[in-house]
């Protein structure tokens, strides 16, 4: 029988298995390579690492990766390059990250009484509050980035985006490539990083970029910790170039209790909570992607091995 092999270390693997079995027809879902005949496995679902057993599956047709990032697996020598690799960026995950970004922006604005015409933010009420027309610059317009942009536009923010490669986007104002990064930065009063981590984006949140932002800009990083040059951020905050930062991802996780970010008055730290995998949501979305694949369609989230995301 055609088999889906689910990596046992995926959070909530048993619930994932239960939901996926209920929502797929004609497939068995297994949690261990020892439970199956390798030739029966057509789909593998993995997370964070590439299991060695992938190379022992002669009829493997599709690999699904839980969550939004593939930076931890894309360069693994055991990852087959000839098989479609798809990120499971389910709608719940997109909403969760985009909502985190919006709440972070709103919290930042409410802490800055200079954004309002009122002399004192204690005078704010539900009737007179109005968010100023700030420009939010989003780095990375994948599934999560586009969802975030749409919500911000609906709330009345100006939104622009920056991407590495040119293709049709759902956002009217998009800057492309290194040549246009400076123009993008100069517009971004609030900078949101939702980029995939690649060799080209590692360390992209640095002093060169910060220097091109408007004065007193605000940074939100929900991409990866390695996008950020930590020393450059501290310098930009201490000089006043940046008014603050909200960070959900770090080079070392969990962030050590004695890290400078933990006590910095201009930095809000959260412990990588913007996303998170919900097994029921991931399984339901995986079933949709599998059905899409077997209809001969290209599902959202297909990884480009050349681009590394």
**CB-count exposure of residue 282 (10 Å: 0-12, 13-18, 19+):** buried
Torsion angle of C-alpha atoms 203, 49, 20, 304, degrees rounded to 10: 50
User: Which residues are identified as catalytic?
Assistant: 224, 272
Closest CA to 211 of 190, 180, 229, 232: 232
Task: Provide φ and ψ at 17, rounded to 5°.
Answer: -60, -45
């Amino acid at each position: 029988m055609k088999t889906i092999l689910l990596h046992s270390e995926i959070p909530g693997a048993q619930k994932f298995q239960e939901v996926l079995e209920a929502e797929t027809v004609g497939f068995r879902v297994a949690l261990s390579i020892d439970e199956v005949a390798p030739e029966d496995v057509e789909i593998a679902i993995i997370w964070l690492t590439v299991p060695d057993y992938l190379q022992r599956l002669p009829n493997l047709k599709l690999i699904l990766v839980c969550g939004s990032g593939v930076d931890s697996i894309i360069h693994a020598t055991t990852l087959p390059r000839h098989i479609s690799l798809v990120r499971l960026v389910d709608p719940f995950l997109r909403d969760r990250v985009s909502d985190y970004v919006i709440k972070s922006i709103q919290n930042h604005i409410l802490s800055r009484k200079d954004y309002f015409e009122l002399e004192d933010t204690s005078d704010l009420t539900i009737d007179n509050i109005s968010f100023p027309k700030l420009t939010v610059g989003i780095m990375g317009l994948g599934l999560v980035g586009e969802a975030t942009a749409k919500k911000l536009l609906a709330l009345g923010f100006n939104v622009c985006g920056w991407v590495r490669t040119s293709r049709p986007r759902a956002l009217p104002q998009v800057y492309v490539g290194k040549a246009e990064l400076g123009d993008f930065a100069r517009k971004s009063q609030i900078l949101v990083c939702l980029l995939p981590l690649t060799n080209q984006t590692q360390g992209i949140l640095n002093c060169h970029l910060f220097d091109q932002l408007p004065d007193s800009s605000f940074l939100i990083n929900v991409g990866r910790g390695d996008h950020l040059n930590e020393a450059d951020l501290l310098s930009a905050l201490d000089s006043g170039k940046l008014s603050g930062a909200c960070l959900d991802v770090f080079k070392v996780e969990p962030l050590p209790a004695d890290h400078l970010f933990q006590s910095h008055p201009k930095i809000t730290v959260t412990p990588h909570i913007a996303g998170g995998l919900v097994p029921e949501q991931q399984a339901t979305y995986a079933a949709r992607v599998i059905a899409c694949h077997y209809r001969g369609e290209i599902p959202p989230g297909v990884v480009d091995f050349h681009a590394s995301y």
